[in-house]
Structure 1
Amino acid sequence: MHVVFVRGSTGSAVATVHRADGVSLQLPGYDRKHKVPHDFAHYATERALEMSGGVFGAIAGGGVFADMRVVGGKPRHDAAARSKRLLDAHRETLSLAELLAGVVHRAVEDGSTEKTPAMVRDAWQSMGTGPFPWTDEHVEDAVRILTELTGEWEAQGTVRVTWPDHLTAPLPEQPGIKRGRRGRA
C-alpha cells in the first residue's frame, strides 16, 4: 500500500492511501499545532513494531475509519460490513497503537527521545497486556523513522511511504458462514 502525505488547506497533514485493491482513500489530519504529524507517528511506530492490526495495517486490510473518504477506485459491494468486522476484530491493537504512537510522537515532538523505550514500556504496562514484546532497538527504530519522516516533511511538505504487505491486518471469518464442500447425502 502506498501513502502520500501532503499539507492540507488547514496546514495539517492529509494522507492519501492507495490500497492494493485499487481503492484510494483520504485520511485527514487534525494536528496543525504540532511540527510532527500524528499520522506519521502511527506509521513509524506500527511499522517498527510490526503492528499489523494498527491504523495502517487495518486500512491496508480494508478498514475505513469514520473520517476517511473514498477518492478513487470502486469499493467492494460489502466494503462497509467488511470494514466494521475488521476494525472490531482489531480494536485492542488499534487502542494499543494509539497509545504507543502517542508516546513516540510526544518524544520526537519534544526532542526527548533518549527515554522513549522506557516510556513505551510503561505505556505497554498500563494496558496490562503481559511482558513487553519488543526490544529497545524496535522502539528506537520507530523514533528514527519518525524523525526521518519529520525532516522530509519540513524540507518538502510531502512524504511518500510504502506500507509492507506482510503488515496487512487479517480479515476475520464472518460468523455463521461455512466454507468448503457440502457433504453428500
Structure 2
Amino acid sequence: MLVFFHPWPGGGTRTVLHRDDRVTLEMRSYDRKWRVPHDLAHAVTERELNLGSGVFGCLAAGALFSSTRVLDGRTRYDARERSRRLLAHHQRDVAVAEVLASVVHDAVEHGRGAPFRAALAAWGSLREEPFPYGEMDLQRATSTLTRLADAFAHLPPGVGLRFEWPRRLTAGAAPAPRPRSRRVPRRTR
C-alpha cells in the first residue's frame, strides 16, 4: 500500500492511501495542535514494530474507520460487513497499536528520546504476555518518526510525504461468520 501524508492548510493532516485492491482512501486527522501528525506516528510505529493488525494493517486489509472515505475505485460488495468483522477480530491489536503509537508520538513531539519505559508500562495495561520489543526497537521507531516528521514539516505546498506500507503487514482476514442452521420442524404422528 502506498500512503501519502498531506498537510492541511491551517493544521491537521490528510492521509491518502492507495491500497493494493486499487481502492484509494482518504483519512482525515484531527491533530491540529501537534507538530508531528498522529497518523504518521501510527504508520511509523506499526511498520517499525511489525504490527500488521494495527490501524494501517487493517486499512490495507479492507477496514474502513469512521475517519476514512473512499475516493476512487470499487470496494467489494461486502465492504462494510468485512470491515466490521476485521475491526472486531483485530480490536485488541488496534488498541495496542494506538497505545504504542501514542507513546512514540509523545516522545517525538516533546523530544523525550526513546520511550521504552512508557511503552513497557502501556503494554502491561493491555496484554499479559511479556513485552516483545527491546529498547532498540523503540529507538528505531522514534528515530524514523523524527526524520519523517521533519520531512513532513518542510514539504513544499501541494506535495505529500510518501510512505510505503509493506504487503507483509496486512492484517489477516477475520473468520467468516458461521451460517445459521436452519431448524427443521419435527414431524409428529
Would you call these one fold, judging by a TM-score over 0.5?
yes
2:177 alignment counterpart: 175
In the TM superposition, residue 137 of structure 1 has moved relative to its aligned partner by 1.4
Alpha-carbon distance in 2 for matches of 1:75, 1:164 = 21
Give a deviation string over 1:31-86, Cα, whole Å, max 9, x none. 11110010111011101110011000000000000121100101111111111110
8 Å Cα contact 2:29-2:67 kept in structure 1: no
In the TM superposition, residue 173 of structure 1 has moved relative to its aligned partner by 2.4
TM-score, with length taken from structure 2 = 0.89
Q: Which stretch shows the higher mean deviation, 127-136 or 59-68?
A: 127-136
In structure 2, stretches of 5+ residues that fail to align are 180-189
1:53 alignment counterpart: 53
In the TM superposition, residue 118 of structure 1 has moved relative to its aligned partner by 1.4
Alpha-carbon distance in 1 for matches of 2:45, 2:33 = 20
SS at match of 1:112: coil
Alpha-carbon distance in 2 for matches of 1:67, 1:155 = 25
Q: Does 1:41 align with 2:41?
A: yes
Alpha-carbon distance in 1 for matches of 2:110, 2:14 = 22
Alpha-carbon distance in 2 for matches of 1:74, 1:120 = 38
In the TM superposition, residue 148 of structure 1 has moved relative to its aligned partner by 1.2
**Aligned residue identity for 2:100:** L
Q: Which runs of 4+ in 1 moved over 6 A?
A: none
TM-score, with length taken from structure 1 = 0.91
1:117 alignment counterpart: 116
Alpha-carbon distance in 1 for matches of 2:150, 2:7 = 14
**Aligned residue identity for 1:160:** R
Alpha-carbon distance in 2 for matches of 1:92, 1:69 = 23
Alpha-carbon distance in 2 for matches of 1:63, 1:153 = 26
Q: Does 1:98 align with 2:86?
A: no
Alpha-carbon distance in 1 for matches of 2:10, 2:17 = 19
Alpha-carbon distance in 1 for matches of 2:174, 2:74 = 22
Alpha-carbon distance in 1 for matches of 2:131, 2:144 = 21
Alpha-carbon distance in 2 for matches of 1:130, 1:10 = 42
Alpha-carbon distance in 1 for matches of 2:16, 2:9 = 14
2:87 alignment counterpart: 87
Q: Residues 78 and 128 from structure 1, CA distance in 2 versus in 1: closer, same or farther, beyond 3 angstroms?
A: closer
Alpha-carbon distance in 1 for matches of 2:143, 2:167 = 21
Q: Percent identity?
A: 40
SS at match of 2:70: strand
Alpha-carbon distance in 2 for matches of 1:24, 1:128 = 33
Query: What is the number of equivalent residue pairs in this alignment?
Result: 176
> Rg larger in 1 or in 2?
2
In the TM superposition, residue 141 of structure 1 has moved relative to its aligned partner by 1.1
1:155 alignment counterpart: 154
**Aligned residue identity for 1:132:** F
Q: Does 1:137 align with 2:136?
A: yes
SS at match of 2:154: helix
